[in-house]
């Protein structure tokens, strides 16, 4: 972080010397957060669950969650159930992909004990995976747990649904940006591009993100209404993730 601050200062000085600093829009963010690791979940928990269901997994992604692509997608429910029945305290919730209807969707594995609010938050995040190549089974870890190998000796990890993994900084500075404003309302990564384009005078079209109107000196009434609706939608999700992190950290 010290090195990054020094590099940013070098960029600012160079832009000031070139006479373009006042015309430059800075956007600083990250692709994910990090959470401290206290527990490593062995890969055998997942591979055993897959074998017991009578299938294989061509690909598994391990982080603060396990994302499993099965050779036989019809075994997804069985694999999810096997993971749940293993009752590892590091597993928060398990979901399997249901393709039996016209619209594929994730279903919470039976025996998983989480609140309706947390399930809704998880489902919102799982919806971002739906691109035609989504995993058959997703297992989210509790706060502080990871499926990454213990041999990494990692102090922290990401890639799960926890608030620590989802919460990242977002800083705008420059022309058309309100100065000294701190916003606590939720935002999403897809909002960065739309807000940046709008600040630069370019109308974003065909994009799913919302314009973070509270960051701009000028914004449209329609933009403010869309942003207000986004806040209403995402605030319960954020609150559920924060509440769950608090419970799991204490437990």
Using the predicted structure, report yes or no on whether residue 248 has a pLDDT greater than 90. no
The pLDDT-based confidence of 251 (bands split at 50, 70, 90) is low
pLDDT in tens, 197-216: 999 999 999 999 999 999 99
Q: How far is CA 100 from CA 24, 89, 105, 111, in A?
A: 51, 31, 9, 21
Using the predicted structure, report yes or no on whether residue 249 has a pLDDT greater than 90. no
The pLDDT-based confidence of 196 (bands split at 50, 70, 90) is very high
pLDDT in tens, 126-146: 999 999 999 999 999 999 999
- Joined together, the tokens standing for residue 92 give 């928060």
Domain segments of the chain: what residues?
A: 2-30+169-250, 37-161
Q: In whole angstroms, what is the distance from residue 190 CA to residue 208 CA?
A: 7
76 by DSSP, 3-state: which? Answer: helix
In the chain, what are the helix, strand and coil shares in percent, each to the nearest 5?
40, 20, 40
Average pLDDT over residues 52-63: 98
pTM of the entire predicted model: 0.90
Contacts with 220 (C-beta within 8 Å, 6 or more apart), sequence order: 213
DSSP state of 24: P
Helix (H) or strand (E) holding 225: helix 221-250
| Contact present, 129 and 104 (Cβ < 8 Å) | no
């Amino acid at each position: 972080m010290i090195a990054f601050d020094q590099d940013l200062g070098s960029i600012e000085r160079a832009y000031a010397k070139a006479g373009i600093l006042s015309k430059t829009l800075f956007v600083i963010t990250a692709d994910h957060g990090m959470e401290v690791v206290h527990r490593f979940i062995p890969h055998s928990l997942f591979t055993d669950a897959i074998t017991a269901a009578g299938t294989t997994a061509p690909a598994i992604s391990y982080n603060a969650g396990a994302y499993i692509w099965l050779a036989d997608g019809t075994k997804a429910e069985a694999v999810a159930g096997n993971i749940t029945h293993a009752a590892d305290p590091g597993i928060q919730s398990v979901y399997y992909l249901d393709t039996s209807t016209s619209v594929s969707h994730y279903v919470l594995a039976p025996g998983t004990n989480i609140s309706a609010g947390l399930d809704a938050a998880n489902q919102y995040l799982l919806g971002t995976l739906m691109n035609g190549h989504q995993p058959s089974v997703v297992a989210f870890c509790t706060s502080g747990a990871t499926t990454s190998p213990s041999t990494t000796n990692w102090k922290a990890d990401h890639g799960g649904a926890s608030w620590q993994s989802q919460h990242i900084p977002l800083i705008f500075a420059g022309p058309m940006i309100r100065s000294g404003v701190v916003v606590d309302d939720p935002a999403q990564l897809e909002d960065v591009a739309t807000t940046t384009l709008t600040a630069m005078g370019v109308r974003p079209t065909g994009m799913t993100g919302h314009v973070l109107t509270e960051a701009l000196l000028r914004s449209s009434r329609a933009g403010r209404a869309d942003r207000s609706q986004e806040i209403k939608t995402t605030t319960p999700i954020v609150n559920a993730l924060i509440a769950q992190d608090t419970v799991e950290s204490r437990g």
